[in-house]
Structure formats: structure tokens, C-alpha cells
Structure 1
Amino acid sequence: MASQEAVGPPPSKRWTQFYAALQLAIQRSAHKWTYKDFSECFPLWCEEQPNGAEGVFNTVSSFIETHIVTNTNKLFEQYDVQKNVDILHQVVTEARARRQRGETGDSGTGVDSWRADLQPRAAVRARTIPALERERDSLRARLAEMERENMELYEEVRENVAAQDRAEVKTAEIFAFFDEIYAKWRDLPLEDMQAWTLLTAETQSAVNPLP
């Protein structure tokens, strides 16, 4: 197996025994279907070509065993099974050694030492509450940052609205000025002005005739 060939400490006794038992179980499973069972499925072929049939049977059995072993090893590598089993073996071995030495959880040898009076909920809280508090602080900091950004956006929007209001007021003043000019122009005596303009032009022509 690839994990057994990797450079590092030798595999634990627990892993060696587990892997050996697994290999034995795979072999028994792959060869549980005997040649007798195979010949009962293909009696005529096994009778006419016993050597060929037996060869095919052995090939199929070997393929099944190899296929199971290969896929099992892939799963072991994917989930790092040997490392976890070795860690479990180390934990169990250390716990047995402490028990033989008469050590208990009250000895203060480690933060994870078990105590008989330690309730599961208290142990869970000791692990989860600090993590939750860190997450809470992170969320509070993020919320404060978002509030600051929102205030900046609010001020920017308010300034834009005020500028738009000023522009609308200025535009209204300009349109009012144009309306006033148009009203005054409309009230002018246009016909009299045209007649006066024509009379002035004729008088000017009479006084200063064209050469």
C-alpha cells in the first residue's frame, strides 16, 4: 500500500493488524465463489474445455481481488486512514500507560485530560465557545465596517440630492425668466411696430434716395 511505503515512522501495530485482517477478508470474499459454483453455471463449457474454463475462473477471481484492493487503497489514501489509525493507536497507548502509572485527569498533564467530574456539555462549551466568540468579534468588526461604509454612502447620496435640488431651483429660475421675457414680448404692439418700421424705411428712402 502506498501509505505504508511513504517515508516516515513505521506503521502502528493497530494499523498492521487491521490491514492484514482486511487483506484476509478481501481474499476470502474474492475466492468465496469456488470453481464448483462456476462449473455449475457453465457445465457444458467446463466439461468440454476444463483447462480454459479454470483459467478464466482464476483470472476473474484475481481481478475481483485486485479491484477491491485497489479501490480500498484509494479510499485509505483519500481519507488518510493509516495516519488516523496510528493517531488512535498512540492515544490509546498513552491512555493505557497513564492508567498503569495511576495518573488521572486531575494531574494536569494536558488540556484534554479527562476527568470523571467533567460533563460532556462543559467539554463541548470549552471547545466551541472560544471559536464562537472569535466568530462574533469578526462579525462585529465586519458590521462596524459596513456601517461606516453605509454612512459614507448616505452622506454622498445626500450631497447628490442637495446638488440636484439646487440645480432644479436654478433651472426653474431660468425658465421663469424666459417666461417673463416671452410674456413681455407677446404684449408688445407688433402691428404698430411693423407700421412704424415701414414708415421709417420709406422716410429714410425719401430723404436719402438711392443713386
Structure 2
Amino acid sequence: MTEDSNSNPNSSRDLASPSPPPPAPVPLTPGPRATVLQKTFNQALLRTLRANSYANFSGCFPTPAKHVPASLESVWRQLNAKLEESARAEFEDIVHERDAIRQLNELDRLMGEARHRRDHGQGQGDVAPHTLTPEELYRARLAPHLQEAHTAMNAKIESTQNENAALSQRVQSQRLEIDGLMSRLESVIADLEGAATAATQFSAENNLRKEAVQMEEEVKARSDI
């Protein structure tokens, strides 16, 4: 018994390993959501082709419809066939390019697991870290820091906006005050200009009066002689 257990040391480790088995590969056959997508496309394409009926098509070409209806109907059939073929080919290219079937099947799987955890009372905390992908672990690790940085950035932006609003009001108030000071200053300048004008006129009149007095004194002096 001892030799058997020592000869196969990996057997005990395999039984005690906490790692879950690798997830099953995602099937490429259309699942529920992929099937609904294809069904929706087929219904939309069918409605489009029905809208392009022969009656509507021939109404656009009344002369050929009257003289060569068989040829016109053949053209109509070829046109619809080409339209359907092109639409289906383009749809298949998009599905292949976007890997839509695998992605939708993966979504079906994730939704099924989520419903299973919900029905059995399991939360996100029950998911073992070693079952997550590197990207999921990376996002889970950075999410709290990014959220904290986002909250701090929003607080700074809000504070800056409030400061800008206060500064704007302050500048507006200072502009109004400057306008009032300018108005008062213009009034003072106008008063000073009026005073200067009056003073100039008074000085001119005073000089004339002095000249008249001087002339009277000279005339009086001559008459005394």
C-alpha cells in the first residue's frame, strides 16, 4: 500500500486540487439567441422581398408591363433573387466577422450561470478567484481605484466650476463698479472743464477792466496838466 501511494504521488494532488475543470468550449452551432437573430433577419428579409412585389415593380414600368410582361416578370424574379442572395451573403459576412454565434452562445452560457446562482442564492462573492480570467481579475482589481479616482475627479471638477462661477460673478460686480466710477469721473471732468472755461472768461473780463481803469487814469492825468 505504501509503495503504491509513493509510486503515484500525483493521484493525491489531483484529488485535493481546488482548481475546477476547464470550461467546456463554446459550441459554434446557433444557440437560443443566435437562433432568434437569424430568425429576425429572415423575417425582415422576407418582408422586404414581399414589399417588392411584382405588382409594385411593374407599376414602375407600365410600358414593358403592357407589352412584354413575361420579360419584365423574369427581370423582377432575377432582381429579387439577387437582392436576397446579396443580403444573406452580407449577413453571413457580418456574423462571421463579429463572431456573433460564439459571442451569443457565450452570453447564453453566462446568463444561464447567473440564473443558476440567483436561484440557488449564490452571489458574486461565491465565485472563486482562480476561476476568473486574467482580464476579469485585472478589472476587479482596478475597479475600486478607478471608481475612487473618478469620484475625486468629479469632486474637483464641481469645485472648480463653483469657483469659476464665483469668480465670474465677482468680475461682473467689479465691471459694474468700474462703470459707475467712470461715470462719476466723467461728471467731475465735465465740472472741471466748465470751471476752467468760466475762469478763463473771468480772467479776460478782468484784464479789460484793468485796461479801462488805466486809460481813465491816463486821460485824467493829461487833463490835469
Instruction: Provide the TM-score with structure 1 as the length reference.
Output: 0.47
Higher relative contact order (CA 8 A, sep 6+): 2
| TM-score (structure 2 length as normaliser) | 0.45
